[in-house]
């Protein structure tokens, strides 16, 4: 890399000559440095140093990760189910957020653990209260799309202090829930990045 920094742009043959190696011996190393983003190669020009630090390359890598790469299956309930049934669903599915849909399977609300806990405190009969009374309604729901950069959704989760966001597909009638992004999904992406499983 130092040779390229000092003499770039420089051909692979010239680099090999300076190191007393064959071009074939050097080819895998140059390929790795190019794929990693430290060097760039241009036909008939040669290799040159990109000037990017490891941190910048990591940031570039993170910005390329899309929501669709890490989204998980959404857990939805109909707006007419009872608060009691929603609590049971949340417990059985082991999730922290439920997405509420109408009879046309369109997103109309979100239920968090806090919403259900708040409804549970008091003397109401939870089997008779529909979730549409206690849910957060549209348009107060943050949504994302599968092609959104994952880092932008992470920033929204932090900013809005929420645990999950529905991944939606926009239709003529409204939003169809096709996935979810949670703090757990973010953690999985971070672990994959640390293990260098991400391209």
User: Tell me, what's the pLDDT at 49?
Assistant: 84
Peptide bond into 113 cis (omega under 30): no
The fold for domain 1-51 equals Arc Repressor Mutant, subunit A (1.10.10)
For the chain, state the CA radius of gyration. Answer: 25
Which ranges of the chain does DSSP label H, i.e. alpha helix? Answer: 2-7, 12-18, 23-36, 54-63, 67-70, 83-93, 113-120, 150-160, 183-194
What pLDDT digit, counting tens, does each position of 72-130 carry?
Answer: 999 999 999 999 999 999 999 999 999 999 999 999 999 999 999 988 887 788 988 99
| Contact by Cβ (8 Å): 12, 46 | yes
User: Tell me, what's the pLDDT at 89?
Assistant: 95
Q: What is the pTM of this model?
A: 0.72
Q: What average pLDDT does this structure show over 162-191?
A: 93
Spatial separation of the C-alpha atoms in residues 58 and 40, rounded to whole Å: 16
Domain ranges of the chain: 1-51, 65-189
What pLDDT digit, counting tens, does each position of 52-84 carry?
Answer: 777 777 778 888 899 999 999 999 999 999 999
* Listed range (30-44, 50-64, 125-139) with the worst mean pLDDT: 50-64
Q: What average pLDDT does this structure show over 180-190?
A: 92
Grade residue 199 by pLDDT with cuts at 50, 70 and 90: very low
User: Tell me, what's the pLDDT at 197?
Assistant: 54
Q: CATH: 1.20.1050.140, 3.40.190.10, 3.40.630.10, 3.10.580.10. Which one for 65-189?
A: 3.10.580.10
Q: What average pLDDT does this structure show over 15-37?
A: 85
Q: Beta-carbon neighbour count of residue 106 at 10 Å?
A: 16
């Amino acid at each position: 890399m130092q040779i390229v920094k000092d003499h770039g742009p420089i051909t692979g043959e010239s680099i090999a000559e300076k190191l007393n190696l064959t071009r074939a011996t050097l080819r895998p190393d140059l390929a790795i440095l190019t794929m990693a983003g430290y060097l760039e190669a241009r036909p008939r020009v040669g290799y040159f140093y990109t000037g990017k630090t490891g941190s910048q390359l990591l940031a570039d890598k993170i910005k390329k990760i899309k929501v669709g790469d890490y989204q998980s299956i959404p857990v939805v309930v109909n707006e007419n189910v009872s608060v009691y049934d929603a609590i049971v669903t949340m417990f059985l599915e082991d999730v922290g957020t439920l997405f509420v849909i109408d009879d046309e399977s369109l997103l109309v609300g979100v239920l968090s653990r806090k919403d259900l806990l708040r409804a549970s405190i008091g003397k109401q009969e939870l089997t008779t209260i529909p979730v549409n009374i206690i849910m957060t309604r549209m348009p107060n729901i943050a949504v994302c799309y599968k092609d959104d950069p994952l880092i932008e959704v992470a920033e929204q989760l932090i900013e809005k202090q929420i645990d999950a966001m529905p991944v939606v597909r926009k239709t003529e009638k409204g939003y169809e829930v096709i996935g979810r992004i949670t703090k757990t999904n973010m953690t999985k992406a971070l672990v994959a990045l640390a293990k260098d499983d991400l391209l």
